[in-house]
Every structure is written in structure tokens, then in C-alpha cells.
């Protein structure tokens, strides 16, 4: 996994609540056996018509949002399925950060596994970032994970919380499996004990 | 010892390692695998030269893509991309040596129906699958939840998951249900009440007399949709109903092991004074047959209600309701029972079990589906299908004008050819009414199996109590 480094990018507003994983990546694109290449299909049904032409009104199709790397989204973003294709598609599109008042649990987890940072903020602060993001390429925000800060184009600084373990993994590009395998002894002794206590499992 | 919830007890029994900040390695007893979310995980193992840590605890079955029409073991029946996914599962299952039920096996079916049916799912276990409806298995008092593909790879490689503990929520359904009201109506009512984000951060334990009265099938329907309320998992404490269901299943413990298991399972309940961070109580008597009108499972209302207007909501939901009404082609104020249906789908891991088919067949006996109606039954597994044929249910369905299909996910998510066309409107026993879920621009109303059967007969959303 790549290390998550401080960056400055364009943020796009997606105020709709309950944006679900079927909207982020419709099922016809789940048939791939690869992780890459899903970016062109992100938000497919909102972004294109049936013939594959771009819908000119969809936010990410507007010229000023083509280079978006931050989404500012409505409540309960990523609800629905466990499909990791959703964060794969967003990451492949170039999204590094999603900001919302809340996220669905599995989607939230999946982001971290793919080097993306979901940020939960109170409504007022999301509103502030939402209106800043409406200014398109004129508003570039900076996200500093180390300092846990978003700086808006006007220089407002918004602090955010992040789980320390996940922060550490993102900053250092650490792979979970490698980390867990370092604890192989604990797993082995758990298995030995469980085999005694619950041999039917 | 301080009192514990059921969730606390199962959690504590599975922590293999705990870091100072509470991040834990949770040991996984059963890992279910299907063809859509696993190819990249197996590929990851292969690239890293890793093995499956516990192939004996890993069960694979193709379900999402598989056709549900006759002759499907001929791979030419599938479009190429589906065939590649199913073939990848076949190769991976055999190469890594996990338990496997290919399409040609009568035990094949939807992963969440196969697990319990084969006795892989047992009380007190941790169960995961790369699928959000893994919550289904919570009906056994097992801690079960969906995971992403990176986590699938993590479990394959280590048989553990990196987890932080969720909070405890209790949803109590008191009293008894009125006639015509089913488990599906309970869970739709709960989600209508909490919203799709109401359970976020929680594991929900469902309890109360109305829950206790439910069969295992009904309990699975409830837990299945815990995720639709945003919860990590849903749980129901195991009891005699659970033990009777599990006993004698192919992979359930036998003899002395059964006795030992039973002794432990009987300790799996929330202690009297256990702390819940959030509690919701609903009277069973207040629950009516329930349907959804919009494009989120939280858009649930009693069948006697009218379609709401955007102004009935607040905040971001106003815009979402506007969009949903437009997508669904509905006018505020119209009666739900005036909504005309052209397609009926009975199946899915929510309502594709034998009892669901019985409930639908009961309504359909001696009746015909409305002219022009496309109606389909897709049993949840090959064994459910066989049993329904033995009980004469298949005949009732076909005589009424339903298609009688082979097992799979089918029109629940329309990854196979079973899809709605643009503008088609479906009464569906599945769990998601998202935009495009059952086909591009298709419209979905979530209902119970009996209500789906009733809609097939009348051509409209129908109050089952009046049929
Ligand atoms: S039946 Fe539907 S919800 Fe269940 S596993 Fe299949 S696609 Fe998912």
C-alpha cells in the first residue's frame, strides 16, 4: 500500500444522504477479478446515460471537478453492500479522502485497506467544507493526516479524529496481513486453547 | 464478574490478541466465500506465496452470478465475465483445499442459506463472509458480519480479523404479532424507525416475546437485514428453537461433543443487568404488514399508509425523498395499495427458505397470477428446492403461473440475467430497494413472501389481511 502523504486537492460536493455502494459502483462492474481499472465506472448510473455518454450535470463530469481528490458527502455515505469495489473505484478515480457526518461501517473499514481516508466531522463543519467545495478548482483543500487537519482554501483549519492504529498504518503504508502474521504465536495459542474448550468448532 | 451481553460473551471468547488501544485480533470460526468478493483475495494470497490458514473452516459456494435456469452446469449459459468469476472460485476452492459446493451439487445455494442448512453455522461462533448479509447467521447467536475483500484475504491468511468492539444495542419486540404479520414486517418496521444509519457502530441484539416465538427461518430474516439498519451484526440468543434446528445437520456436533456444545450454548444470553448503549422497544401488536415506497430500506410504511411527500421529512432526507419519488414514479398522497406491480420476485437470503415458500404458496393455492405478471420463485438452495417439490409447493407455484427456478441470488441483485427492465415495478422479498439494484431503472418494493404472493394475484401492492 502507498503511504498516505499530505496533499492539496479539489473537493467535490455530493450532498445527497445515504449514497449507497450500488450508486458508487453498480453490480455489472463487480464481475472483474482484478482490483484496478474501476475508476471510469465510479458512480456509473449517475455519471453516464445508457449509451455511455456523460451526463453533463453530474458533479464529477463538470470541468472544474474532473481532478477531484476529496469528496464532501451527505450523511451515511457508503451504506449497503460490503463490496470493496466501491473504494477501489473511488481510489482508482483519484479520490483520497471522503468527508461526511457518518459512514457505513464496512465501507469505512474498506477505505483504510485501500489507502483512503474517511473523515467524520460534525454537521456544521461538513456544511462549511460543502460550501467551500462548491467553488470547484478555486477551492483547494489540504489534508494533513499527521496533524489531523484539513485546511480550507480560506485558511480555516478543521481538526479531525482518526483511530491511532489506522493512522499509523496509513502513514506508513503498512499491510495488515503482514502485521497480523507477526502475532502468529498468539493465534496459535488461541487455537490450542479453543481446541480444548470448543472442540466441535 | 460484571454482567455481560450476548455480544460481550461471544467477543470475549474469540479475542486472540488485544493491543493497548483495544484493537483486537478476533479469531474467526467460519469463513464463507462466494465468487464475487473473493477472486482478488485468493490472488493476493498467491502473489504473497501464502496458504489458507484453516481450509477446514472455509466454505465456498458460487451464488451471485449463477443462472437459475435449467441446464446451467453448461458454462456457456453464462456471459463471459460471470463464467470467469465462477471458474475462478472453482479453481481457487480446489487449489486451496476449502469445502466447496459447485453448481452441480444439490447443496449449492445462496451462501447464507447453505451455511445454516449444512450446520456450518453454530451458536457462539464468529462467522464472516465477503458479503454484508452475513448478518443472517446472527439468528443462531453467532457473531456474524460482512467484510471487504482485503479482509477476506486477511481471514484466509490468518483466520483472524483486526477489529474494534462495537457498542451494544437492544431491540425488543414485545407481545405477539397480529395475523398476517411476519418477520419481514418486523425488520422493515425496525429500519423504518431507526433509519439505515441508526445501527451504525452497534451490534444489535433482538429480543422480546415476539422474537422468541419466531422460527429459525423468521429469525434469519430479521438478522439478515440488521445491516440494512447500519448495524455491524444482529444477534438472537440461542434457545430450544435454535438447538432443534441445528441438531442432526451434517456439520453439527454429534454425541458427547453435542452435549458439550449444548452446555456452552445454554450460557449464551445477555445477563439480566447487562448494559446496552441504546434500546428500542416496539410492541408486536403495533406492527402491520409493511412495504417500502422509496429507494432506501428505511422508506418503509404500513401497507395501509399513503405515499409520503418530501415535505414530510427534514434535512438531507427531503432531497433524497424527492429523488426517490421521482425514481419510483410515485405521487405523494396516493395509497400504497394503489401501486401497480408487473413483476414479483420471491427468493434471496432474506426470504428464500422453505418457510418463506410455504407462506407464499399458502396464499397462491388455487389462485392465478394476474395476466401479464412476470412472477418468479428462486429457492435459496438446491435442498430448499427439493423439499418444496416434495411438499407439493412447486406445483402450486407453477400452476399459479410462477416460474420455478434453480437456486441462486438471481433478481435480488440482478448480476445474472434475471433483471428488471427500465420502469418495471417489482414486489420483491429481497432486502434492498436501491436505485438500479434489480436492474437499470427498475423499481423495487420490499415485502414479505405472503405479500409478494398477494401482489402477484391482484397486480397491486395488497394488504394480505384483506385477501
Ligand atoms: S441473495 Fe441478495 S443479499 Fe443475499 S447474498 Fe445474494 S445478492 Fe446478497
ipTM of the complex: 0.91
Residue B261: inside a domain: no
Ligand 1 atom nearest to CA at B432 = 3
Q: What is the pLDDT of residue B111?
A: 98
Which residue among B431, B437, B439, B444 is best mutated to probe the pocket of ligand 1, counting the most ligand atoms within 8 A of its Cβ? B431
Shared domain for B22 and B138, answered yes or no, is: yes
Interval A21-50 mean pLDDT: 93
Q: In this model, does residue B403 exceed pLDDT 90?
A: yes
Is a pLDDT exceeding 90 seen at residue B75? Answer: no
pLDDT band at B74 (very low <50, low <70, confident <90, very high): confident
Find the closest chain B residue to A113 by CA distance.
B150
The predicted model gives A65-82 an average pLDDT of 95
Q: Are residues B218 and B125 in the same domain?
A: no
* Confidence at residue B1, expressed as pLDDT on a 0 to 100 scale: 78
B135 C-beta closer than 6 A to ligand 1: no
Q: Report pLDDT for B18.
A: 96
Which mutation among B37, B108, B147, B412 tests ligand 1's pocket best, with the greatest number of atoms within 8 A of CB? B412
Mean pLDDT over residues B70-99, rounded?
91
User: pLDDT class for B447, splitting at 50, 70, 90?
Assistant: very high
State the smallest CA–CA distance between residue A165 and chain B in angstroms. 8
Q: What is the pLDDT of residue B451?
A: 98
- Whether B189 is in a domain gets the answer yes
**Domain co-membership, B213 together with B129:** no
B347-362 burial, b for 16+ CB within 10 Å, e for fewer? bbbbbbbbbbbbbbbe
Domain-embedded: residue A107? yes
In ligand 1, which atom is closest to the CA atom of B136? Answer: 4
| Other residues' Cβ atoms within 10 Å of the Cβ of residue B22 | 11
The predicted pLDDT at position A150 comes to: 97
pLDDT (tens digit per residue) in B381-393: 999 999 999 999 9
| B282 falls within a domain | yes
Q: Which residues of A touch B34 (CB under 8 A)?
A: none
Rounded Cα gap, residues A64 and A60, in angstroms: 8
Domain presence at residue A1:
no
* A105 at interface of B, judged by CB pairs closer than 8 A: yes
CATH number at A26 reads 3.20.19.10
B213 and B143 within one domain: no
Considering only CB atoms, A177 lies closest to which of B23, B154, B413, namely B154
Does the beta-carbon distance from A18 to B196 stay under 8 Å?
Answer: yes
Q: Which residues of chain B have a CB within 8 Å of the CB of A89?
A: none
Q: For residues B281 and B419, state if they share a domain.
A: no
A91: in domain: yes
Are the beta carbons of A27 and B413 separated by less than 8 Å? yes
B323 with B394, same domain: the answer is: yes
* Residue B231 and residue B210 share a domain: yes
Interchain proximity A76–B196, CB inside 8 Å: yes
Residue of A nearest to B231 (CA): A105
Could you tell me the CA-to-CA distances from B89 to A33, B61, B105 in Å, in that order? 10, 8, 15
The pLDDT of residue B417 is above 90: no
A2 domain residue, yes or no:
no
| Banded pLDDT at B316 (limits 50, 70, 90) | confident
pLDDT above 90: residue B21: no
Q: What's the domain count of chain A?
A: 1
Which chain B residue's Cα is nearest to A15? B316
Mean pLDDT across chain A: 94
Q: Is the CB of B224 under 6 A from ligand 1?
A: no
**Overall domain count for chain B:** 3
Classify residue B188: in a domain, yes or no: yes
* B130, B149 contact by CB (below 8 A): yes
Percent of chain A exceeding pLDDT 70 equals 100
- Number of helical (H) and strand (E) elements in chain A, helices listed first: 8, 7
Long-range Cβ contacts of A173-176 (<8 Å, 24+ apart)? A173/A1, A173/A2, A173/A3, A173/A4, A173/A115, A174/A1, A175/A1, A176/A113, A176/B150, A176/B154, A176/B162
- Is it the case that residue A1 has pLDDT exceeding 90? no
Residues B124 and B206 placed together within one structural domain of the fold = no
Residue B233: give the domain boundaries: 167-239+270-286
Residues B451 and B434 in one domain: yes
Atom number, ligand 1, closest to the C-alpha of residue B347 = 1
pTM for the full predicted model? 0.93
Checking phi first, is residue B410 left (phi over 0); if not, alpha (psi -120 to 50) or beta?
A: left
Instruction: State chain B's mean pLDDT as an integer.
Output: 96
Read off the CATH number of the domain in which B282 is found.
3.40.1060.10
Task: State which residues form the domain around A60.
Answer: 7-197
pLDDT at B153 over 90: yes
The model's confidence at residue B76, banded by pLDDT at 50, 70 and 90, is: confident
CATH number at residue B399: 3.30.499.10
Instruction: Name, in order, each residue with C-beta under 8 angstroms of B49's C-beta and a sequence gap of 6 or more.
Output: none
pLDDT higher than threshold 80 for residue B108 = yes
| pLDDT at position A139 over 80 | no
How far off is chain B from A190, nearest CA to CA, in Å? 5
pLDDT for residue B370 is more than 80:
yes
Residue B96 has pLDDT above 90, yes or no: yes
pLDDT at residue B274, as a whole number:
97
Amino acid at each position: 500500500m502507498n503511504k498516505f502523504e499530505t496533499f492539496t486537492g479539489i473537493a467535490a460536493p455530493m450532498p445527497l444522504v445515504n449514497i449507497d455502494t450500488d450508486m458508487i459502483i453498480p453490480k455489472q462492474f463487480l464481475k472483474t477479478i482484478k482490483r484496478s481499472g474501476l475508476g471510469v465506472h465510479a458512480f456509473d448510473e449517475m455519471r453516464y446515460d445508457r449509451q455511455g455518454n456523460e451526463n453533463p450535470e453530474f458533479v464529477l463530469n463538470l470541468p472544474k471537478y474532473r481532478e477531484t481528490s476529496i469528496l464532501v458527502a451527505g450523511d451515511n455515505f457508503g451504506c449497503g453492500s460490503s463490496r470493496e469495489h466501491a473504494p477501489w473505484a473511488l481510489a482508482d478515480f483519484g479520490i483520497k479522502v471522503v468527508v461526511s457526518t457518518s459512514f457505513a461501517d464496512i465501507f469505512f473499514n474498506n477505505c483504510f485497506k485501500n489507502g483512503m481516508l474517511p473523515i467524520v466531522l460534525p454537521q456544521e463543519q461538513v456544511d462549511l467544507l460543502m460550501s467551500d467545495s462548491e467553488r470547484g478548482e478555486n477551492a483547494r483543500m489540504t489534508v494533513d493526516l499527521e496533524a489531523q487537519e484539513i485546511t480550507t482554501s480560506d485558511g480555516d483549519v478543521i481538526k479531525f479524529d482518526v483511530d491511532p492504529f489506522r493512522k499509523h498504518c496509513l502513514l506508513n503504508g503498512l499491510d495488515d496481513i503482514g502485521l497480523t502474521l507477526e502475532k502468529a504465536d498468539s493465534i496459535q495459542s488461541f487455537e490450542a486453547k479453543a481446541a480444548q474448550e470448543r472442540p466441535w468448532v | 464478574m460484571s454482567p455481560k451481553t450476548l455480544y460481550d460473551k461471544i467477543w470475549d471468547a474469540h479475542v486472540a490478541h488485544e493491543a493497548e488501544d483495544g484493537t483486537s485480533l478476533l479469531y474467526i470460526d467460519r469463513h464463507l466465500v462466494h465468487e464475487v468478493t473473493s477472486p482478488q483475495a485468493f490472488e493476493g494470497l498467491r502473489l504473497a506465496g501464502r496458504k489458507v490458514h484453516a481450509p477446514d473452516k472455509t466454505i465456498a459456494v458460487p451464488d451471485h452470478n449463477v443462472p437459475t435456469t435449467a441446464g446451467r452446469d453448461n458454462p456457456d449459459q453464462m456471459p463471459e465475465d460471470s463464467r470467469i468469476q465462477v471458474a475462478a472460485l472453482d479453481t481457487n476452492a480446489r487449489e486451496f483445499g476449502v469445502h466447496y459446493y459447485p453448481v452441480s451439487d444439490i447443496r449449492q445455494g445462496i451462501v447464507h442459506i447453505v451455511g445454516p442448512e449444512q450446520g456450518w453455522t453454530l451458536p457462539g461462533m464468529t462467522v464472516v463472509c465477503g458479503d454484508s448479509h452475513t448478518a443472517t447467521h446472527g439468528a443462531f447467536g453467532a457473531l456474524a458480519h460482512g467484510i471487504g475483500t482485503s479482509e477476506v484475504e486477511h481471514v484466509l491468511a490468518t483466520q483472524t480479523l483486526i477489529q474494534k468492539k462495537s457498542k451494544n444495542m437492544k431491540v425488543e419486540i414485545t407481545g405477539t404479532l397480529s395475523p398476517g404479520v411476519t418477520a419481514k414486517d418486523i425488520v422493515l418496521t425496525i429500519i423504518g424507525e431507526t433509519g439505515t444509519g441508526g445501527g451504525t457502530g452497534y451490534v444489535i441484539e433482538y429480543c422480546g416475546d415476539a422474537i422468541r416465538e419466531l422460527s429459525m427461518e423468521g429469525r434469519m430474516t430479521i438478522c439478515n437485514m440488521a445491516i440494512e439498519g447500519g448495524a455491524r451484526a444482529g444477534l438472537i440468543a440461542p434457545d430450544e428453537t435454535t438447538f432443534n434446528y441445528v441438531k442432526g445437520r451434517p456439520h453439527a456436533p454429534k454425541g458427547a461433543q453435542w452435549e458439550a456444545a449444548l452446555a456452552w450454548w445454554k450460557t449464551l444470553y445477555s445477563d439480566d443487568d447487562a448494559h446496552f448503549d441504546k434500546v428500542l422497544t416496539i410492541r408486536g401488536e403495533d406492527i402491520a404488514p409493511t412495504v417500502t415506497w422509496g429507494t432506501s430500506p428505511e422508506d418503509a410504511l404500513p401497507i395501509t399508509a399513503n405515499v409520503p411527500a418530501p415535505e414530510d421529512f427534514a434535512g438531507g432526507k427531503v432531497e433524497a425523498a424527492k429523488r426517490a419519488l421521482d425514481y419510483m414514479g410515485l405521487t405523494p398522497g396516493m395509497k400504497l395499495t394503489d401501486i401497480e406491480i408487473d413483476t414479483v420476485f420471491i427468493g434471496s437470503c432474506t426470504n428464500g427458505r422453505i418457510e418463506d415458500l410455504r407462506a407464499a404458496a399458502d396464499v397462491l393455492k388455487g389462485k392465478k397470477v394476474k395476466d401479464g405478471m412476470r412472477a418468479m420463485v428462486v429457492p435459496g438452495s438446491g435442498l430448499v428446492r427439493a423439499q418444496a417439490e416434495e411438499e407439493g409447493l412447486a406445483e402450486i407455484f407453477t400452476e399459479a403461473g410462477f416460474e420455478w427456478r434453480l437456486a441462486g441470488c438471481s433478481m435480488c441483485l440482478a448480476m445474472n440475467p434475471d433483471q428488471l427492465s427500465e420502469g418495471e415495478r417489482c414486489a420483491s422479498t429481497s432486502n434492498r430497494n436501491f436505485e438500479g439494484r434489480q436492474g437499470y431503472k427498475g423499481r423495487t418494493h420490499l415485502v414479505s413472501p405472503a405479500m409478494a404472493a398477494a401482489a402477484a394475484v391482484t397486480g397491486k401492492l395488497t394488504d394480505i389481511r384483506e385477501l
